[in-house]
Structure 1
Amino acid sequence: MKKIEQNDKLEVISIYDLEEFSIGHDADMEAITGCTVVLANKLDNLVAGSDVRGGAPGTRNLDIISPLNCMESCQAVVLSGGSLFGLGAASGVEKCMEENNIGLPFVNVTLPVVCQAILFDLAIGSKDIRPDAQMGYRACLNALKREKHNDGNVGAGVGATVGKISSPEQMMKSGLGTYCYKRGDLFVGAVVACNAIGDVVDPDTQEIIAGALGRDLKSFLDTEKFIGENITTEDFYMGNTTIGCVITNAQLTRPQAHKIAAWSHDGIARAVRPTHTMSDGDTMFCMSTNEVPVAMNLVGTLAVKAVENAIASAVRNAETLGGFKSRKEIFGK
């Protein structure tokens, strides 16, 4: 049995090195949109959960994995741009999984259970081209190839931006980030696409590292302060949302997987300010291969830290695209 010991050190590894899960991306760099697939490779004891905290979510198949319903888990999570139009990407993932016999044996077919959340990226690039079944299919195939990718402008993060409380000129490019902790046989990792209305802060210094720029385009407006001093009605920009998935091999029941998904939102709240607004659709998933007996408090704590560090990585590694400048271009780091 896999386990952790008291003297096992906590380390950071590449999430792409995990054998239990595969992550694939596909994107249209001209239209500036994309999708990401998190695919489980061990299905026997898999459990999954989800939690929605934002006020404007777009999701698919969350009900089927509820503790009140019949499925213990999904076998894949799709994170996608395209707003509600992008929900079609899951159909392509289902097709790819069926062709590769990934899913549940059911009567005379292999039945893939695919959950999805979307973000709004129609204000960057082309509003008429969105992640579709073909893009989802390619992303799933890419997951099966098990290639490593850099964080930033990849997959669901290609069209992501942050700091949307003021004019488009004051917004910044964001992206998709990953982060994974390992302690003994246990791992807890996160894949997150950050497309928030708010600012992103550094996990260590608590300083804003991306978000709404000031009028000089070289400093930060401080979105929370701006809202407190200027906003009187619900006139927030609606093109927002941070979505992600925590993956682990901790032994979890299905209700516990939902709890970890809910707990992981603390990572968004610590990294993005403000978060969970009525114009954000913040949604998190958790998938576990259910192998390592461990305290829930350890899993939840590491999930939160993985999420906040993944978000920081998303903005630190983003590149200028579609007229939206990145942290790298503005601040050189």
Structure 2
Amino acid sequence: MTALRNLITDVAGLRVGNAHDEALASGVTAILFDEPAVASYAVNGGAPGTRDTDLLEPDKAVPGVNAIVLSGGSAFGLDAAGGVQAYLRENGIGFAVGAALVPLVPQAITFDLLNGGNKDWDRYPPYRELGYEAARNAGLDFALGTAGGGYGATTVDVKGGLGSASAVTSGGYTVGALVIVNALSSALIGDGPHFWAGAYEEGEEFGGLGHPPRITAEMRKLDWKGRMRDAAPPISTTIALIATDAVLTKAQAKRLAVISHDGHAKGLRFAHALFDGDTVFAAATGRKPLKDEAGDFIEIGALAADCLARAIARGVYEATALPFEGAQPSWKDRFAGNALKPARG
């Protein structure tokens, strides 16, 4: 992994930009494609919030998209795609429909309205402008943790955030994941500090702790936002983009999105619940044709799920607490000063 940024931007043909508002305690992450990308999606959560996702189904006519947006703000956050569209249109990017230029920008959102930020905006929420800023900020390097669409994200026990990871298959195809971790449940085993994704960690990207020698029944005990505590209603979601530089059909992109949901299960205990809106987009920038269509695609899918699990852990590991009294502590607030050593099996 040393030759890579360990970000989704290791996939050639895309850039990522963040924008957030500290007082609002929310933000937007925009992924811009250099050329229209073949894309699809899969929703496994029970409470999704999305925009322009029907066009991503394999039987729909649209051949590709110009950008994808991952945002906070619940339904209000869906305005962010309009801001990204405005930026793209200003720069001559979009699909020509007669004299009109229409940038195609699907989006998914998370619920972060009750995290302590000031949501008392004027008539219109600020997400359109945040979307524009995120698009304008797009580049190859970007912040993780409490940044962009992950700025206001939380989990049941520690601060959530924006995470990313990448990998390269044995055939040379690059795979990357980008995720907002605003989970109903936990990325941590028991009370922590170990991550459920520890078995997939590369180097020390989220602390190098691995797994504990044994995972006990107590560590597997379920908990979620709003259960057995004085907390906000249990409304959450973990949304992600998987990208690869392989040439894929729209149907293959759909299958890749479905497969990649395995990363939710690897990185969280648990996912896809009634109040989760868990959504995964999958996009192909089309730089490298598949040589062994079945074998290459199977490996891309397997590594995509691993990357998503790793990105979930990184989003939590890199997060910092929101600047409000009583804000949820971050992983580093709770565990970074403990001089922890990797577990020995």
How far has the Cα of 1:150 moved from its partner? 2.7
Alignment equivalent of 1:51, drawn from 28, 37, 42:
42
Match of 2:155 among 155, 159, 162: 162
The answer to whether the Cα contact below 8 Å between 1:23 and 1:37 also exists between their aligned partners in 2 is yes
Structure 1 residue identity aligned to 2:67: A
Q: After TM superposition, give the deviation of residue 292 of structure 1 in Å.
A: 1.8
Preserved contact between residue 11 and residue 243 of structure 2 (Cα < 8 Å):
no
Q: How many residues align?
A: 300
The TM-score normalised by the length of structure 2 is 0.80
Between the aligned residues of both structures, percent identity stands at 36
> Residue 199 of structure 1 contacts residue 223 of structure 1 at CA under 8 Å; is this kept in 2?
no
Q: Distance in 2 between matches of 1:291 and 1:147?
A: 17
SS at 1:325 equivalent: coil
Q: Does 1:191 align with 2:195?
A: no
Give the direction of change, closer, same or farther, for the CA distance of 1:227–1:148 in structure 2 (3 Å limit): closer
What is residue 85 of structure 1 aligned with on the other side?
Answer: 76
Partner amino acid for 1:197? Answer: L
Query: Which residue is equivalent to 1:314?
Result: 315
Task: Mark the runs of 5 or more structure 2 residues left unpaired by the alignment.
Answer: 189-194, 207-216, 291-295, 338-345
Contact 1:197/1:241 (8 A) holds in 2: yes
Aligned counterparts of 2:58 and 2:11: Cα–Cα separation in 1: 27
CA distances 1:273-323 after superposition (whole Å, capped 9, x unpaired) = 111000000001011112323321011011101100101100111011131
Structure 1 counterpart of 2:133, which letter? R
Helix, strand or coil for the counterpart of 1:114?
coil
Do the aligned residues in 1 keep the contact of 2:316 with 2:331 (CA within 8 Å)? yes
Contact 1:151 1:178 in 2 (8 A): yes
1:256 is the counterpart of 2:235? no
Q: Which of 177, 188, 198 is the aligned partner of 1:204?
A: 198
Question: One-letter code of the match for 2:179?
Answer: V
Q: Distance in 2 between matches of 1:74 and 1:264?
A: 19
Contact kept? 1:173, 1:327, Cα under 8 Å: yes
| Aligned partner (choices 152, 164, 182) of residue 178 of structure 1 | 164
Cα distance, 1:136–1:126 mapped onto 2, change above 3 Å: same
Cα drift, residue 72 of structure 1: 1.9
The alignment's C-alpha RMSD in Å is 2.8
Larger strand proportion of the pair: 1
Paired position in structure 1 for 2:333: 329
In structure 1, the partner of 2:133 is: 138
Report what 2:306 is aligned to.
305
Unaligned 5+ segments in structure 1 are: 1-8, 164-170, 210-220
**Does structure 1 residue 272 correspond to structure 2 residue 268?**
yes
Displacement of 1:224 in angstroms is: 5.7
Task: Tell me whether 1:238 sits opposite 2:230 in the alignment.
Answer: no
Partner of 1:108: 99
After TM superposition, list the pairs within 5 Å mapping 1:118-129 onto structure 2: 118-124=109-115, 125-129=117-121
- Which residue identity lines up with residue 331 of structure 1 in the other structure? F
Q: Tell me, what secondary structure is at the counterpart of 2:35?
A: coil
